[in-house]
Structure 1
Amino acid sequence: MEYVNLILSALSQGMLYAPMAMGVFIAFKILNTPDLTIDGSLVFGMTVCAVVTIASHPILALVAGTLAGALAGFVTGFLQTKLRINAILAGILTMTGLYTVNYMVLGGQSNLYLQTAETNESGSEVFVSSNTIYKMFSSLFPGLDTNANVLLLTALIVAAVAALLCVFFKTRPGMAIRATGDNEEMVRSSSINADASRILGIVLANGLVALSGSLLCQQQRYADLNNGSGMLVVGLASVIIGQVLFGRRSVTLGVISAVAGSAAYRLILQFAYKINMPSYAVKLLSAVIVALALTLPLAKQKLAIRKARKEARKGDPV
């Protein structure tokens, strides 16, 4: 039973971060753009979601948080395409500016809990927990475990988002984004607005990242300015693990592999915690996972070359 709860917890966390993994996949794999806005846009989605959730609009809070991340992506895309600022530097500039914006959204504090102050019958002030989508869902299925509740609802949301993404990338705007990532010069020569396609791709990627932040905010019931630290590495680890598991065949499979990679990454972390790995070593583990996953294709290629050479030697006449 202990391992069942561990797996449920890992999968629920994996689903919460799955939209971020899909966003990283769009930016790094489809657009071939090193977008460093991700750490800031995740927190931007989280902070906006927290404020709107406290105002008693939990569903609208997810939409508002996603749009906030999309706005951050638009700023990065604008800096890249219209002001011709280097992609890495544009992401750093937006991420740096978002720290102040997020601080302002939280009312000048570093964190904000999803609760409101109310006066009870005796005249004392008490804090009441704000309503969230997970609280609403658990009221419909009171028999579900907390982790199972989070996993089921988040998986439904992720499945819907993944399906919409797969359909979108088969439309004209989606194909234009894919073509821009493959060969931007060819796209420009074909009279397609490559700048608009690039901006749209970055907007979409950061909107998905912010959706992860919004879901995470409602699941953990607070927003914190430091939650975005290292999220880019986590997203890359998820995408690379997914591609190692599924390969690189199509955009649809890439979206699915990003979701699966997010779940697999969280499972790895959970079992690492099981062997009493200290929490401060998580980022190092993430970096090691990314490094190992990046070297796997090269290792496979070398093994294939060695195998081919051995077969060629066997076939040579004596």
Structure 2
Amino acid sequence: MEPGSKMLEKIQKALTTRSGTMRELLAEALGMFILMVFGLSSVAQVVLGRGEFGQHLSINLGFGIGVTLGIHAAGGISGAHLNAAITITHCILGNLPWRKLPAYLIGQFLGSFTAAATVFGLYYDALYDYTKGNFTVTGPTATASIFSTYPAPYVSLPGAFFTEFIATAMLLLGILVIHDERNNGALKGTQALLTGILVLGIGIGMGMNSGYAINPSRDLPPRVFTAIAGWGMDVFKAGPHWWWVPLTAPILGSLAGVLIHKLFIDFHNQPVLESGEEKGQPVKLASESRKQRNN
């Protein structure tokens, strides 16, 4: 083995972690970073480009593409939650040990926060040109909404909360339908793409009132970044005090989505038969069809 190859092997061993929890943290961080860079940069281009470099649809496409690629990056290691509401829901349902919750949340926070800093650096000159150096949360040259969500002026706080609740319920319901192998689950390998399309659909249909945060990990870390980077504590006061809604409504909406799926689909699903019968076919009908073939 050449000396250079030995050195690379040593570096790889030094950087490789044996901890499964750490691998999941790193996977969530990278997946979240990819998701948020695509999403936030698409918002920045629309806002700072004054509508000449994209519209509302391009923002939704950016987040949809980011979700798809983020899932491909992290899915095989952590399951690609990329959403604190989804992680907490998995813990409540017993699908994920509570001891892993901090690692998932830290990974998501780091990925999202770093993505906000990256987009800030990417569009730093455009931000200064657009705002003349005055970073504001509201007003004609407001730019805080590039990084985090804020409700539309016409929406009441309960109305915006309800929007986030319903949008997240639809997110979880859609994810469960896509992955439901006992019903009519997606073809293997298409789940990431379909989840990205699902997020695109939510943005197209439910993004007007509150910017469809549907994810505490998407909203809080960039909000913290903007508070540090020059927008100040107004990012927590605007809305008014909107910041807590993207943290709580998605968690409740996530649980509601799971409940709806269980009540309407999962509890009634038939087990997958091993005899080659068509998936989802009731056992009684399957036995009758076998009798007819034997006759």
Higher strand share: 1
Higher relative contact order (CA 8 A, sep 6+): 1
TM-score tier by shorter-chain length is 0.3 to 0.5
**TM-score computed with the length of structure 1 as normaliser:** 0.33
**TM-score computed with the length of structure 2 as normaliser:** 0.35
